Amino acid sequence: MKWKTQIIRLETQKQFELLDLTSEIENEVYDSEIKQGICIITSTHATSSLIINENESGLKEDILNRILALAPDGENYQHNRIDNNARAHVIASILGTSLTLTIEEGRLVRGKWQNIFFVELDGPRANREVMIKIFGEK
């Protein structure tokens, strides 16, 4: 068994944003030289998330719009008395904070239209991190 951990650092530009991490993650899998294994991607923040879907500009807006509808603006969120980002926390709770993908014959398994996105819900932020943990057999 080989284990590899890498952190990707991100600077986000908008309050709500999808950032495509597919290439970085595929490069990490390639560099690991693991042929048969697992790749776990983790957002270590309570106001961001990760999703998998197609990278098409109109669709990215559709996805963001519906994700934001999980915690609509204008609700009387109690957490906003402490920090004005309750929507981000609520949405991250529903979407989750990690993805598990598999590695076959040295390649990350994903469908043709399955790209991996970091979901910023409380940006812009200068110091977002995503952890890539890969393990398996060479």
Residues that bind its own copies (CB under 8 A): 1, 3, 5, 36, 38, 40, 42-47, 51-54, 56-59, 61-63, 65-67, 70-71, 75, 77-79, 81-82, 86, 89-90, 92-102, 104, 109-111, 113-114, 131, 133, 135-137
CB of 15 to its own copies, least distance (A): 18
- 65 contacts: CB under 8 Å, gap ≥ 6: none
Q: Which is nearer to its own copies, 24 or 133 (CB)?
A: 133
- The crossing angle, in degrees rounded to 10, of helices 86-95 and 57-68 is 110
Tell the smallest beta-carbon distance from residue 30 to its own copies (Å). Answer: 19
Look up residue 134 and give its two tokens: 């890969």
C-beta separation of 8 from 21 below 8 A: yes
Least distance in Å: CB of 27 to its own copies?
19
Minimal distance, residue 13 CB to its own copies, in Å: 20
Instruction: Tell me if 32 sits within 8 A of 134, measured CB to CB.
Output: yes
Best CA proximity match to 96, nearest among 70, 124, 65:
70
